[in-house]
Every structure is written in structure tokens, then in C-alpha cells.
Amino acid sequence: MSDLKVRTKDFAVRIIRLFAALPKTTEAQVVGKQFLRTGTSVGAQYREAQHAKSDADFISKVEGSLQELEETSYWLELLEEMQLFNGEKLRPIQQETKELTAIFVSIAKKVKARKD
């Protein structure tokens, strides 16, 4: 689990750096701020999950991370479609978003299965 703490923090750092590299146009900044908010929330929510009061609370926080990842993916798609950032340079962060999503889905399923 500590590896995931590091990985989500690294993800947030990459998000922040990408935001800093965006053009300073109004469009890029509006989309970028949304992307910044959702992308940096993933790790914060996961950290909160580490101190959950119950399995239900843990699942809720993990699913919160999943929602933030889904939104991050959406904003990444917009950045690419609006040509606000080079699509090829977005590939690694898009891939990491997919991988983190898969990890969080797996975690949520395992904890839910424990309850049954």
C-alpha cells in the first residue's frame, strides 16, 4: 500500500508539472485548473482511505479516488482534442491514469468481496 501512496503522489507531481507547461490561454487554464484539481485529489483521497473507520468508509474513499481518476481522464481527453498540449506527450500520463484506475477498481472489489 505504501507503494501506491508514492505512486499517487508522483502522479500528482506529474499533473502539477503538466499544468505548469500548459499555454497561458484562457481555455487552457480553465481546463488545466480542473485537471489540476482532479489529478491531485487522487492521492489525497487514497491517503484519507488509510484512516477509514470501516470497510464501507474505505470503499467510499477509494471510489472517490476512482471518480477523480475518471474526471482526470476526461480533462486529458479535452486537452488533447482541443490541441492544448501535444497528444504524444500526454500518452504517459493517460496510461498512468488507466493503470491507477485498474488498481483502485481491484482494491475496491477485494474489499467488497471480503464483506460478502
Share of the chain above pLDDT 90, in %: 91
CA distance 22 to 78: 13
- CATH architecture of the domain with range 2-115: Up-down Bundle (1.20)
Identify the pLDDT of residue 1. 57
Record the pTM: 0.92
Domain locations along the chain: 2-115
Q: Quote the crossing angle between the two packed helices 26-49 and 55-81, to the nearest 10°.
A: 160
pLDDT tens for 31-77 read 999 999 999 999 999 999 999 999 999 999 999 999 999 999 999 99
Q: What φ, ψ does residue 95 adopt, rounded to 5°?
A: -65, -45
